[in-house]
Every structure is written in structure tokens, then in C-alpha cells.
A and B are shown apart, each in its own frame.
With several copies, the nearest count.
Chain A
Amino acid sequence: MKIMNMVGAINDALDIKLNEDKNVVVFGEDVGVEGGVFRVTENLQKKYGADRVFDSPLAESGIVGTAIGMSIAGLRPVVEMQFCGFIYPAMNQIISHASRMRNRSRGKLETPMVIRMPYGGGINALEHHSESMEALFGHIPGLKVIAPSTPHDAKGMLISAIESNDTILYMEPKRIYRAIKQEVQEGKFTIELGKANVLTQGKDVTIVSFGAMIREVQKAMVMAKEQGISVELIDLRSIYPIDRETIRNSVKKTGRLITVTEGPQSFGLGAEISQIAIEEAFLHLEAPPARVSGYDVIVPLPKGEHHYMQDAYKILYEIEKIVKY
């Protein structure tokens, strides 16, 4: 065991896979010499050389598109989008090819690749640096979308992602890149993708969330507990596919569901999970599944961001409302 933050855990996962599998290559904007703008890929170029860890020209479609080619030819590229807000130039390559090549070729061609990107707000950043667009990607058939909330999960999930034969979008909650430290198992381990994690058992209300929002929910849970409200907290981990079973079991037990997500409200993750709850546990529901999410607006610049963000109080507010319903 070793104490690590998330940046260290991700770096460790990359290190392990680069070391173990010569087909793994890591590239993107400033990931080589600089080691990434968040230092996630620090030292990897030194250790593995510039043909395995390297800086690409500044072009996201180019990065994803060439990674598709590499993966078809047998490599396992792990590419970085510098921020979630800069992945859009690559949307065509992701939607039209990465997520489709296997189906299009009836399984003959595969694109085993991981697209890593920091996402989410709360870091006082410029425009385009605070977005959480998991729902856009969850809606793309053929893609898997995952996001860890702890260093341990970050490491295990990334190793699993690199070993998967699918194209995986790996969303990193940059707000807690260094905020959470934890003992993490050394060496290689994997975490099955697609499985949610019940972080806290509870009986009054189920909260489903992921990534950086988990910590906010936990703060709200402390306050709720003071009022005797027992919350069951599910860390989704996988945005697509969603672990229906875990949600079903929990909602059947608590009868109440709140989703806490950072992205815009409409067509967001919250609605999908509510729908799953009503499909799976309608007769157990004692209140309408509620969503605590961003609003349908552009993430405000730092001075206004608190209005947008889902903090412990906003979550508590909904908890109190739903248990009183």
C-alpha cells in the first residue's frame, strides 16, 4: 500500500501498463516533455522514450483519429484531451469511428483505446475549462464512459480501461486530482468496468453520483445524519453502461432517489437514472426521483461558479425535500 492522490494513481496506472505492454502508447498535447498540464503523465516520457510517450500537434481530431488508426493496427493508445471542453473538435472521430469500427466491420476491427480527460468545475478556471459533459458521451452507442472518484478507483479503472478492447472515455475529476489522498494497492490490479459502488449503506434515500460530486454528497450526508436521515450513496463509476442492478436494489430499499451531477440539467445523467429507477422500481417509489444538477447554462466564470455548482447545501436541500415528500 502507498499513499497516493489521484494524479499519482493515474500516473502509476499508466506506468504499469507502459511497462507491461509494449503496445501501449501515450500521447496528446503537452503530455511528453511537460508531463501534462496537470502533471498526470510526468516522467513517463523519460522512462519510456519519446516514441511511446509524446507530444502531438495541437489538434484533437488528429489525436483521436490517429489513435483510431493505431489501435486498428494493434497498438493500445491512451490519449489525453487537455480539458473536457476541448474534446469537441474530436467528436466526429469519436462518434463516427471510434465507437463504430467494431460494429461496422462485424467485429473484425477493434479500436482498443482510452481517451483520458479532466472534467468538471470548481477550480477557478477560464471558460471551457470546467465542463462536465458525460451525458453527451453516454448517448453515443459503442462508447464506454467511466469516471473514478478516488485514487484507488482511478488506478484500477484505468488499468481495466487500457486492457479493454473497447473505446473508453475516461473522465478525471480534476477538482479532486490532489484533494484526496488514500492508500492505494501497489502494482497491478483491475476494477471491473460497468459496476457501481455502494459507498455507504442507508435506508431513507438513495443518492447516485460520481466523480468530484461524491465528496459534496458526503458533506451533505454528514448534515443529513444530524437530522437522522440515512442516505445510501452510490458511486456510479460507469456512466455508460449504467449499473441498473445496483440502482434497482438500492431504490427498492429506500424508495427515494436523488441524482447529483455537474453537467447541465436537461438531457443529463440525472434523467437517465431517474428513468432507470422508474423502470426498475416504480412501485417502490415514495417520492419523485429528484435531480441536483447544473442548470441549462454555460458554466459561469469563477466569480459566478458557486451559483451553478452543486454543493453540500444544495444536496441537503433536496434531501430534506424528498424525505418530507
Chain B
Amino acid sequence: MFKEYNPINKLMFQVIDNQGKVIDNKLMPKITDERVLKAYKDMLFARTADLQIVSYQRQGRIYTYPPNYGQEAISGATAVIIEEKDWLVPAFREMGAMLAKGVTLKELFLLFMGYEDGNEYKNANKVLPISVPIASQMLHATGIGYEIKYNKKKELVYAFVGDGGTSEGDFHEAVNFAGVWKVPVVFIIQNNQYGISTPTRMQTASESLAIKSIAYGVKGIQVDGNDFFAMLRALEEAKKVCENGEGPVLIEAVTYRKGAHTTSDDPTKYRTKEEEEEWDKKDPLKRLKQYIINKKLWSEEEEEKIIEDFKKEVDRQFIEAENYPEYKAEDIFKYMYSEMPQELKDQEHRLKEFYRWKEERVSQTIKK
């Protein structure tokens, strides 16, 4: 597949069309109907959560949040393929993949409500926290890949970055190191057409992002990222490459960020309604839904019902997060080093003395 879809040939890999019809059965990944249905539900859950979060945010109940809206098939396919033993190195729009690894929605809520505790991932292993400094996480993926190869383990790393992220030096260094070291990392570029307000054509003059793989001597492919099956199939093939010790793979997943960059962004400033409508036709959930409805695996009624259930579940976890215990003063010091140095103990002590003083002072003032 990587030969035929060598990015130099300028082909985008697709399996289903905008109506959810399979273009060529040979291209279909190996997956049961049952698993497809589960994947669809998971993607729908992610979308439901996403939309709900945006409304929480409008109510001032959560801070800045970067939605996944419109990009769910990429995480959705990753969720199918990623295993317990594998590593997930997210950027910040991979909710579906994170949930699949065992991160809870509540934990994500905690993070975006302003608790580091949300990054602890109590029930999930081998997931890095979301990474804010663009593209920097890619190098971690390469390093983890080195450990896997070094210890001859049968693991894989799935690492994410945005189209904007491909402009950073760290993108270059990460894929380049991975190419030299031939490590089992699947790099997935979520090309959602924008880095905040900046369109991809202003990030690079390159013909595609997938074609950048050539600069590193690694396999690359451009995939319709709104096509769940295409994503899954590409990931399957990438997995084989990694398992064969042929090194990393660079996947450009072409998609569209249907929502705002974050809840504090206004996309109407930099894109048109026409463009949004054009992309709406390629919506990944619509396409997959059409597929499962055609196959009689799903119905509008089921969908309506399940969305209601999902909403309740999202709400439940949200309220749990809202009732999270207060952030304690010692927690800002406690995790800085493996053992707290005297200097930090002194600083913590000073803070607590201040709090004692303040309490006294404020109660005095109130008495007055």
C-alpha cells in the first residue's frame, strides 16, 4: 500500500465515500460489524462529550478547551488498533484515543477545570499527558520507540501532531531521529486545515504533509482522516511496517476542525461558511453512520436514545469533576522532585505560615 500511495503520487487513501459507500472492498480493514458499531458509538460519545463541554464552557464551568469536533474518525480508528501494551502520545485533540487507553472523561474535565490531577490517568498506562507546546511531544514518541527497540519489545507508539505542528523544528527532528533509529512509531498528523487561524498552505509550500516523509526516508501516506475505514486500514498497514522493524511511518490524516480552535476562538474571522459547509459533507460521523445504517446495524432511533444516555454519562462525570476536593497548597510543591529539597520545604512552610497569618488577620477584620 505504501508503494501505491507513495505521497509522490499525490493520491489520498480513501475507503468509503461521502455517502458511506465502500469504494473498493479490497481496501477495507479487517474489522467485524460489531467492532465497527462499537467504534461508531465511541466516536459518537466523544462528539457528544465535546459539544457538551463547549456548553459547559459557555456557562463558565470549565476553562479553555480544544474540541475534537469533526476529527473523531482519527482517534476512533486509533482506538480500535491501539493495545494495552502500546503507547499513546497525544497532542490535544485525541479524546477518543485517550478514552480507549483508559483515561476517563472525568480526568479530562479535571484538567480543563484546572487540576493537574486530571493528568494522572489512574486507570491508564502508557499515555502521555496532552502536550501544549506544539510538536514537542513527537520527540518523546521517538524516544519511547527507542526504548521499545532497545528492549526488543513488541510495542508500538502512536504519536499525534497538528498540521501547524509540522512547521516546528521538533517535528523535523522527531521524524528524522525516528528514521535513523528505525523505531516503531506511527506519527499521525491531524491536518485539520488550520493552526488556529493560519491555513495549512501558509504553514508550508510542500505539496502535502505526507510527502514530508520523503525527507526522512520513512514511509508516508495521505489518508482521508474523515474516513474511519481508511484511517483504520492505514494504521493496520503502518503497524505491520513497525512490527517488521522497518521503522516509523508518517500518516497525514486529512480532516477538518468543525468547531473553534478552542472555546476562546472565533473561526468566522478566518474561514467562510461555504468552506464549512463543504467540509460538513465529509463529516466522519455522518459517513460512518450512513455505512452502519445501510448495513442495518444502526437506526436513527437508536442514535437518539444513545445520545441521551451519553449526555447523562457526560454530565455525571462532569459533576463528579466539579465536586473534586479543593486544591491543597502542598500539591504545588509535592511533585516537583522525587524527594522534596529543603528549599521547597522552606517555601511550603512560608506559604503555610502566611495562610495562618491571613486567617487570623481576616477573622480579626471580620470581628471589627
A and B touching (C-beta < 8 Å)? yes
Chain A interface residues toward B at CB < 8 A: 25, 29-30, 32-35, 37, 51, 55-62, 64-75, 77, 85-86, 88-89, 92-93, 96-97, 101-110, 124-129, 141-142, 144, 164-166, 194, 240-242, 244-245, 265-266, 295-298, 300-305, 307-308, 313-314, 317
Complex contact B133–A301 (CB within 8 A): no
Say yes or no for B228: interface residue by CB 8 A criterion: no
List chain B residues, Cβ under 8 A from A92: 133, 136, 170
Q: Is the interface of B mostly helix, strand, loop or mixed?
A: helix
With the chains together, A245 CA to B346 CA distance in Å? 12
- Per the 8 Å Cβ criterion, residues 124-143 of B in contact with A are 128-129, 132-134, 136, 138-143
Q: Is B174 an interface residue (CB 8 A)?
A: yes
With CB as the reference atom, state the residue of chain A lying closest to B159.
A69
**Residue ID in chain B nearest A77 by CB atoms:** B143
Q: How far is the CA of A164 from the CA of B327 in the complex (A)?
A: 28
B116, A89: Cβ atoms closer than 8 Å: no
Known contacts A58-B195, A59-B167, A69-B142; is-contact A141 B336 (Cβ 8 Å):
yes
- Residue with the highest number of chain B CB atoms closer than 10 Å, among A57, A93, A244, A245: A57
CA distance A29 to B261 in the complex (A): 14
A-B pairs with beta carbons under 8 Å apart, 24 shown:
A33-B197, A59-B168, A61-B170, A65-B139, A66-B177, A67-B143, A70-B143, A70-B144, A72-B128, A72-B143, A93-B136, A106-B119, A107-B334, A124-B64, A125-B63, A126-B63, A165-B338, A194-B341, A240-B343, A242-B343, A295-B347, A297-B347, A304-B332, A313-B361
| CB within 8 Å for A307 and B63 given contacts A57-B167, A57-B173, A93-B139 | no
Question: Closest residue of chain B to A51, judged by CB?
Answer: B150
Give residues in B with beta carbon < 8 Å to A.
Answer: 63-64, 87, 89, 111-117, 119-121, 128-129, 132-134, 136, 138-148, 150-151, 164-165, 167-170, 173-174, 176-177, 180, 195-198, 202-204, 264-265, 269-270, 327, 329, 331-338, 341-344, 346-348, 351, 354, 357-358, 361
Contacts A65-B170, A93-B139: A72 and B338 contacting too (C-beta < 8 A)?
Answer: no
Closest to A165 in B: B338
C-alpha spacing A106/B332, complex, angstroms: 10
Contact B332 A313 (CB under 8 A): no
- Name B330's closest neighbour in chain A (CB-CB): A307
Contacts of B148 in A (CB 8 A): 73
What's the Cα separation between A296 and B332 when bound, in Å?
10
User: Contacting B351 at CB < 8 Å: which of A32, A245, A307?
Assistant: A307
Q: Judging by beta carbons under 8 Å apart, are B327 and A307 in contact?
A: yes
Is there an interface contact between A107 and B335, defined as CB atoms closer than 8 Å?
yes
Q: Of the candidates B111, B198, B341, which one forms a contact with A58 in the assembled complex, judged by CB atoms under 8 Å apart?
A: B198
CB distance from B134 to the nearest CB of A (A): 6
Residue of A nearest to B353 (CB): A317
Residues of chain A within 8 A (CB-CB) of B139 are 61-62, 64-66, 68-69, 93
- Contact among B173, B203, B329, B347 for A296, CB-based, below 8 A: B347
Tell me whether A300 and B116 are in contact in the complex, defined as CB-CB below 8 angstroms, given that A66-B139, A73-B143, A73-B144 are known contacts: yes
Choose one: A142, A245, A266; the contact of B336 (CB below 8 Å).
Answer: A142
Interface contact B338-A59, CB-CB below 8 Å: no
A296–B129 CB distance below 8 A: no
Q: Is the CB of B133 within 8 A of A73?
A: no
Selected from A62, A88, A104, A124, the residue in CB contact (under 8 A) with B174 is A62
Q: A65-B139, A66-B143 are in contact. Are A104 and B169 (CB under 8 A)?
A: no
Q: Which residue of A lies closest to B126 (CB)?
A: A73
In contact, B357 and A126 (Cβ under 8 angstroms): no
In the assembled complex, which residues on chain B have CB atoms less than 8 Å from the CB atom of A266?
343
Q: State whether B150 touches A244 (Cβ < 8 A).
A: no
Residues of A close to B264: CB separation below 8 A: 37
B116 touches A106 (CB 8 A): yes
Chain B residues with CB under 8 A of A265? 347
Q: A62-B167, A105-B129, A164-B338 are in contact. Are A124 and B63 (CB under 8 A)?
A: yes
Query: Knowing A58-B164, A105-B119 touch, does A303 contact B333 (C-beta < 8 A)?
Result: no
The 9 A-B residue pairs with the shortest CB-CB distance, nearest first, are A69-B143, A65-B139, A302-B114, A62-B173, A73-B147, A66-B143, A34-B197, A69-B140, A57-B167
Across the interface, do B174 and A65 meet the contact criterion of CB distance under 8 Å?
yes
Q: Which residues of A contact B134 (CB under 8 A)?
A: 58, 86
User: B180 → chain A, closest Cβ, in Å?
Assistant: 6
Q: Which residues of B contact A128 (CB under 8 A)?
A: 132-133
Q: Are the C-beta atoms of B177 and A85 separated by less than 8 Å?
A: no
By CB atoms of chain A within 10 A, which of B128, B138, B148 has the most? B128
Report Cα–Cα, A126/B263, bound state, in Å.
12
- For the complex, what is the distance from the CA of A110 to the CA of B168, rounded to whole Å? 25
How many angstroms from the CA of A190 to the CA of B114 in the assembled complex? 40
A89-B335 in contact (CB<8A): no
CB–CB B144/A55 < 8 A: no
Q: How far is the CA of A245 from the CA of B343 in the complex (A)?
A: 10
Q: Which residues of A contact B117 (CB under 8 A)?
A: 106
Please measure, in the bound complex, the distance between the C-alpha atom of A66 and the C-alpha atom of B89, giving whole angstroms: 13
Q: Are B196 and A298 in contact (CB under 8 A)?
A: no
CB distance from B13 to the nearest CB of A (A): 26
**Alpha-carbon separation in the docked complex, A295 to B251 (Å):** 42
Contacts of A108 in B (CB 8 A): 119-121
Most chain A CB within 10 A, of B87, B204, B343, is at B343
Q: Does the CB pair B168–A89 fall under 8 Å?
A: yes
Contact B354 A314 (CB under 8 A): yes
CB distance from A324 to the nearest CB of B (A): 12
Expressed in whole angstroms, the Cα–Cα distance for A97 and B132 within the complex equals 10
Given contacts A29-B195, A69-B143, A304-B331, are A298 and B120 in contact (CB under 8 A)?
no
Report how far A308 CA is from B354 CA in the complex, Å: 12
Which residues on the B side are within 8 Å of A33 (C-beta)? 197-198, 269-270
- Contact across chains for A96 and B198 when beta carbons are under 8 A apart: no
| Complexed CA–CA distance, A88 and B136 (Å) | 11
Bound complex: CA A107 to CA B167 (Å):
31
